[in-house]
Amino acid sequence: LMAEKGGYKHFMLKEIFEQPRAVQDTITGRLLEEQGDVRLEEMKLSDAELRGISRICIVACGTSWHSALVGKFLMEEHCRIPVEVDIASEFRYRNPVIDDTTLLLVISQSGETADTLAALREAKARGAKTVAICNVVDSSIAREAHGVLYTHAGPEIGVASTKAFVTQLVALYLFTIRLGRAVGTIDQATGRAMIAALVKVPGLLEKALETNEQVEKIARRYVNARDFLYLGRGMNYPIALEGALKLKEISYIHAEGYPAGEMKHGPIALIDEEMPVVVLVPKNSTYEKVLSNMEEVIARGGRVIAICSAGDDEIAKKAEVTLEVPTDGEELAPILLSVPLQLLAYHVAVLKGTDVDQPRNLAKSVTVE
């Protein structure tokens, strides 16, 4: 079994460390660097069909829903098409507004999640075009959608999704480039710049993984906390949700993700000297805003674990502990910030002695309602 895990103690850790390669596999063979475009023929949508889309709905569960939330930012920013994100178990019972100009994107690692499959069938019945972002080749969802965009992360065994999530973010970025090029909102130069940023990601992920030992020490310091709060803004808010979900799933510590600007409307009441608060504060357009949210936490005695851009000394002076990751630009930062959050959940769970790869009450793929 140790051999199957490639020398790692758990599949989850192996899969976290596989992420640079997984991302490389997601992008390999798809980049048209000269044209500033990508090749996604398996989606089976022509430029004319892409131009006919008036609205996009993205439907998923759990971690895949978190990647959908990031996708909304990318698509609305670059393609100027309204994007709605829904949880599959809600969508299927909601009488959603869908017609033949709606593109329904479903996201699923396994391709077998019952709620997501039902949402896909419902949308198809109402005339939507459907595309599945899927990891498992030839799974039910991949087969039933009109088109597919495989993530190519390789088999994910750990119940807590890691490399599948990160490759979903990459797939959504590729999808955004393709859509933007087809509808004309992304010009060739922008497409080229987006691709140039993307090809750096595997190398940056390697660097982000170098935080592993430091994260392990941090995990020791906070392992006895009863609750954790995770804060982020914009595209990093879904990453806060994902960080909290990872911790809950494998360490059984209660954790909540929140948009940093919303903290003052309630959760700030929870903050005391016992409360670790993970703050995602990379250098980007809302940096100053998040910094001031972080200061509000510190002023109330909260214990800030800041995840910031490499070389940010200002954060290091203020937070109780700091983890630096190379973020290089705003849009791909969510991918890199995910790494220390996965590692934090992992090491806390190992210290607690839980069954990391098979946490209680959970199944890798939820094929029942």
Do residues 265 and 290 touch, judged by C-beta distance below 8 A? no
Total residues contacting ligand AGP by CB under 6 A comes to 16
Contact status: 159 vs ligand AGP (CB under 6 A): yes
Q: How far is the CB of 363 from ligand AGP (least distance, A)?
A: 8
Of the listed pieces 170-178, 281-289, 329-337, 360-368, which binds ligand AGP according to CB under 6 A?
Answer: 360-368
Q: Minimal distance in Å, beta carbon 94 to ligand AGP?
A: 19
What angle, rounded to 10 degrees, do the helices at 212-222 and 333-352 form? 50
Q: Does 366 bind ligand AGP (CB under 6 A)?
A: yes
Number of alpha carbons in the 13 Å side-chain half-sphere of residue 144: 23
> For ligand AGP, which stretch binds (CB under 6 A), given 5-13, 71-79, 106-114, 285-293?
106-114
| Residue 167 in contact with ligand AGP, rule: CB under 6 A | no
Q: How far apart are CA 164 and CA 12, in angstroms?
A: 11
Q: For residues 360 and 187, what is the distance between their CA atoms, to the nearest angstrom?
A: 49
User: How many CA atoms does the CB half-sphere of 34 hold within 13 Å?
Assistant: 0
Place of tokens 């990318």: 74
SS3 274: coil
Can residue 83 be called a binding residue for ligand AGP (CB under 6 A)? no
**What is the C-alpha end-to-end distance of the chain, expressed in Å?**
32
Contact 73, 284 (CB under 8 A): no
To ligand AGP, the closest distance from the beta carbon of 365 in angstroms equals: 5
Query: Between vectors from CA 358 to CA 355 and to CA 363, what angle results, nearest 5°?
Result: 150
- In the complex, what is the shortest distance from the CB of residue 243 to ligand AGP, in angstroms, rounded to a whole number? 11
Residue whose CB is less far from ligand AGP, 64 or 251: 64
Least Å distance between CB 153 and ligand AGP? 11
Query: Angle, nearest 10°, between helix axes 333-352 and 163-183?
Result: 170
Residue 106 tokens, joined: 């479903």
Given candidates 19, 108, 309, 322, which one binds ligand AGP under the rule CB under 6 A?
A: 108
1: which residues sit within 8 A by CB, 6+ positions away? none
Binding flag, residue 109, ligand AGP (CB under 6 A): yes
364 counts as catalytic: yes
Contacting ligand AGP (CB under 6 A), which of 37, 86, 249, 357? 249
Residue number with CB closer to ligand AGP (62 or 96): 62
251 near ligand AGP, judged by CB under 6 A: no
Q: Which of residues 316-355 bind ligand AGP (CB under 6 A)?
A: none
**Catalytic pick from 124, 283, 352, 364?**
364
Give me 249's structure tokens: 């799933």
Q: Which of 19, 130, 151, 161 binds ligand AGP (CB under 6 A)?
A: 161
DSSP states of 159-189: SS-SHHHHHHHHHHHHHHHHHHHHHTSS-HH
Q: Binder to ligand AGP among 19, 26, 64, 211 (CB under 6 A)? A: 64
Residue numbers at the binding site for ligand AGP (CB under 6 A): 61-64, 108-110, 113, 116, 159-161, 249, 362, 365-366
Residues noted as catalytic: 364
